[in-house]
Amino acid sequence: SSVAYDPAAAPPALSSLRLRAARVLEDNWTGTSTVPSRGLYPHQWSWDSAFIAIGLRHVSPLRAQTELETLLGAQWSDGRIPHIVFNPSVPLDAYFPSPDFWRSSTAGRAAGAPRTVQTSGIVQPPVHALAAWLVHEADPGLSRARGFLARVHPRLAAWHRYLLHRRDLGGGGLVSVVHPWEQGMDNSPCWDRPLSRVAPAPARSFRRADLDHGAPEDRPTDLDYGRYVRLAADYRDRGYLDQGYADRGYGEQGYGDRGCADRSYRDAAAGGEPGGGGRDFAVEDPAFNALLIASEHALARIAQELGAAGSARHARARRLTAALVERLWDPAAGMFLCRDVRGGELVPERGVSGLVPLLLPGLPGDIAAAVVRTACGPHFGLGGVTRLVPSYDLLGEAFDPHRYWRGPAWFNTNWLLERGLRQHGEHGRAAALRKAALRIADTSDFAEYVDPYTGEACGATGFGWTAALTLDLLN
Ligand code: 9YW
């Protein structure tokens, strides 16, 4: 078995939690990657895989490396890492949107989608370089023997280059997402205002598969789905091309040689203003950008391990941290907010995404202290009325303790906050959050998300990143 289990290492309750978490990852393993959930999400998801690798490294560093290598194997030649890599043996109707919606290998040709694997055309938060570094650290001997970092480094560098060069839609140095699915917190109230400009696709033009699993009343509404479908279809119909595609010559910067630049697509994309993705929806999100910055620091360490200099990347991470504060910090709210690039203003909604920059080592001390105060105050209740930090403002009008990203607590964001608290010397609060997360992972059977007040399980159980991050917190 690949489970490294030492019964002397942990008290009985924790060691059985560890075994059960490892078992979830075993059950969700397909042979080359791990599904988030057998029923609901039967393919490979990008940021799920990064979090899963972070936990998997404690039971099998080899599988953790393979998880990331499989994902990176589906990278587009423009550098983007797609948010879903489809498993060809899963029936088309098991998940919507399916490969026949995204049509990556045809519609994504000009942007360099791979020919042999089907993927989506949007992205998810860049947790990957951070994950790669943590996976390496778990077993440097194996990592060096397999040339793991040497192989993933150019792909991770191309990924960051894509985000920084193609996705700075606001012009202030930060990355924009062009779809709520890209940020990963699909129906957060932070998207309500920017999404309201998007004309929904008619409900009869698509069939949701998510409603067949779990509790439909917790899932995003049909109206939200219509808007998600419209945004994704428009991006697809523009060849998944981003701004600046035509004038900067993608091929030279992209990774690998799978790209096939198609002149007619280029010209079409260059025509409109603003062209490509983000025409109707472009948002600078604090968590997405903070994860990019954390991954820039990790990429600097990876470069150093490979014998190159890391100082330029560390410096870039510091500049990005300054841009994050400059563009998204709201002193009155005591937290970071999303910037609606098309509307040109900060979105007045408190999502947990605005606490995630606590992760960053370079955050000014007064800002880190204010974020901790906000997390512990009435809007998020950490150490007070909630057991885990909710995905959205307890006092917000849209708050609902069971509806997906509009209130429930998620384990990945709580794991990020636990790290952030430790990063800024809040060891007592971090230990309490860790304990609560472990207990609730245990009692909820590794739920996808939970009621932040009671810890009651919601969504799928046996959820990949919940099990993985449990393993990481146990170590
Ligand atoms: C969906 C897989 C994904 C996560 C997202 C989460 C959800 C897909 O599941 O999106 O159909 O709702 O919002 O963050 O990566 O776990």
Is the CB of 392 inside a 6 Å radius of any atom of ligand 1?
Answer: no
Is the CB of 36 inside a 6 Å radius of any atom of ligand 1?
Answer: yes
| Mutation test residue for ligand 1: of 35, 41, 177, the one with most atoms within 8 Å of CB | 41
Is the CB of 381 inside a 6 Å radius of any atom of ligand 1?
Answer: no
What's the DSSP call for residue 176? E
Q: What is the pTM of this model?
A: 0.93
Measured in Å, residue 405 CA sits from the centre of ligand 1 at 10
| Residue 9 confidence (pLDDT) | 60
Q: Which helix (H) or strand (E) holds 78?
A: none
Q: Given the residues 186, 218, 242, 451, select the one marked as catalytic.
A: 186
Nearest by Cα to 26 from 342, 446, 359, 357: 446
* 448 part of the active site: yes
> What are the CA-CA distances from residue 217 to residues 54, 196, 211, 276, 401 (Å)?
31, 21, 9, 34, 12
Is the CB of 182 inside a 6 Å radius of any atom of ligand 1?
Answer: no
What's the DSSP call for residue 199? P
| Residue 215 confidence (pLDDT) | 82
- Which atom of ligand 1 is found nearest the CA of 95? 11
Q: Which helix (H) or strand (E) holds 450?
A: strand 449-450
Is the CB of 186 inside a 6 Å radius of any atom of ligand 1?
Answer: yes
Cβ atoms within 10 Å of 76's Cβ, excluding its own: 27
| Residue 218 confidence (pLDDT) | 85
Measured in Å, residue 22 CA sits from the centre of ligand 1 at 21
- Which atom of ligand 1 is found nearest the CA of 83? 15
Residue type, 300: A
What's the DSSP call for residue 289? H
Measured in Å, residue 184 CA sits from the centre of ligand 1 at 6
| Residue 328 confidence (pLDDT) | 98
Which strand ranges, in their side-by-side order, compose the sheet holding 449-450? 409-410, 449-450, 457-458
| Residue 210 confidence (pLDDT) | 87
- Which atom of ligand 1 is found nearest the CA of 124? 15
Is the CB of 191 inside a 6 Å radius of any atom of ligand 1?
Answer: no
| Residue 274 confidence (pLDDT) | 54
Measured in Å, residue 50 CA sits from the centre of ligand 1 at 14
Is the CB of 210 inside a 6 Å radius of any atom of ligand 1?
Answer: yes
What residue ranges of the chain have pLDDT lower than 70?
A: 1-12, 244-275
Measured in Å, residue 37 CA sits from the centre of ligand 1 at 10
